[in-house]
Amino acid sequence: MSLRAKKVSESETIMSEMIMPNDTNSLGNLMGGNLLRWMDIAGAICAGKHCERSVVTASVDHVSFKLPIPVGDVITIKASATRAFSTSVEIFVEVFSADIKGGNSRRCNDAYYTFVGLDDASRRPVTIPPVLPLSREEQELYNGALQRRELRLILSGRMKPEEATEIKSLFLKK
Ligand SMILES: CC(C)(COP(=O)(O)OP(=O)(O)OC[C@H]1O[C@@H](n2cnc3c(N)ncnc32)[C@H](O)[C@@H]1OP(=O)(O)O)[C@@H](O)C(=O)NCCC(=O)NCCS
């Protein structure tokens, strides 16, 4: 497994699903938990391609469900690597929906997932390749990843606010 920096396009993953009755709530709209599961799968495929390894989900950042997605719609989930750290990679997952004819096309939600690359034998975290951002959008996502990482590590109790460099000021008492 190589540790060369990899372009975002090398691991970008697009997944489609048609919303069936069994995926919905009593109002006939997609259940949030089912959407999270598909987002997790698309994110894991993307992270696995980037790391060239088995990966596990370490965290999911804030998700809001902005628009209902009715039965019969077709959703498209796009997952892209934004930045890798030492053993973890942040994946940006976006969800779009449209009817079967492509009408009423809209962006429904997005979330940042963090996956960790594992060694096959020990199942412990291992170093993964860096992400090489090329476009302006990729560079912006790459730059913002440091702040998002510190925030999620602080909120999960894995980092003390005083250890943060990028977002320390948010936690300082005036
Ligand atoms: C994720 C996991 C492998 C981390 O193991 P660990 O012993 O804490 O290992 P480390 O402390 O070396 O952390 C490994 C990486 O995970 C990251 N990480 C761990 N918890 C995290 C969290 N809550 N949010 C974001 N990143 C996290 C660390 O920052 C580190 O990344 P880095 O090397 O790029 O800096 C371990 O907690 C695990 O196996 N969790 C269960 C995963 C799983 O089963 N997911 C499916 C849900 S059921």
State if residue 58 touches ligand 1 by the CB under 6 angstroms criterion. Answer: yes
With respect to residue 20, please indicate whether it lies within any of the assigned structural domains.
yes
Nearest atom (ligand 1) to Cα of 84: 34
What are 108-165's pLDDT values in tens digits?
A: 999 999 999 999 999 999 999 999 999 999 999 999 999 999 999 999 999 999 999 9
Span from the CA of 99 to the centroid of ligand 1 (angstroms): 38
**Which two three-digit tokens encode residue 93?**
């997952």
Q: Whose CA is nearest to atom 38 of ligand 1?
A: 58
Q: Whose CA is nearest to atom 12 of ligand 1?
A: 125
State if residue 15 touches ligand 1 by the CB under 6 angstroms criterion. Answer: no
Span from the CA of 116 to the centroid of ligand 1 (angstroms): 6
Range 3-30 average pLDDT: 97
With respect to residue 163, please indicate whether it lies within any of the assigned structural domains.
no
Single pTM value for the model: 0.96
| Helix ranges restricted to H, the chain | 32-51, 136-155, 168-171
Q: Whose CA is nearest to atom 13 of ligand 1?
A: 125
State if residue 116 touches ligand 1 by the CB under 6 angstroms criterion. Answer: yes
Name the residue range of residue 91's domain.
Answer: 6-134
Nearest atom (ligand 1) to Cα of 118: 3
* CATH assignment at residue 32: 3.10.129.10
The total domain count for the chain is: 1
Range 54-78 average pLDDT: 96
With respect to residue 139, please indicate whether it lies within any of the assigned structural domains.
no
Query: Which phi-psi region, left, alpha or beta, contains residue 102 (left: φ > 0; alpha: ψ -120 to 50)?
Result: left
How does the average pLDDT of the chain come out, rounded?
A: 95
User: 174 falls in which pLDDT band (50, 70, 90)?
Assistant: low
With respect to residue 47, please indicate whether it lies within any of the assigned structural domains.
yes
With respect to residue 29, please indicate whether it lies within any of the assigned structural domains.
yes
With respect to residue 49, please indicate whether it lies within any of the assigned structural domains.
yes
With respect to residue 72, please indicate whether it lies within any of the assigned structural domains.
yes
With respect to residue 165, please indicate whether it lies within any of the assigned structural domains.
no
Q: Say if residues 80 and 8 touch (Cβ distance below 8 Å).
A: yes
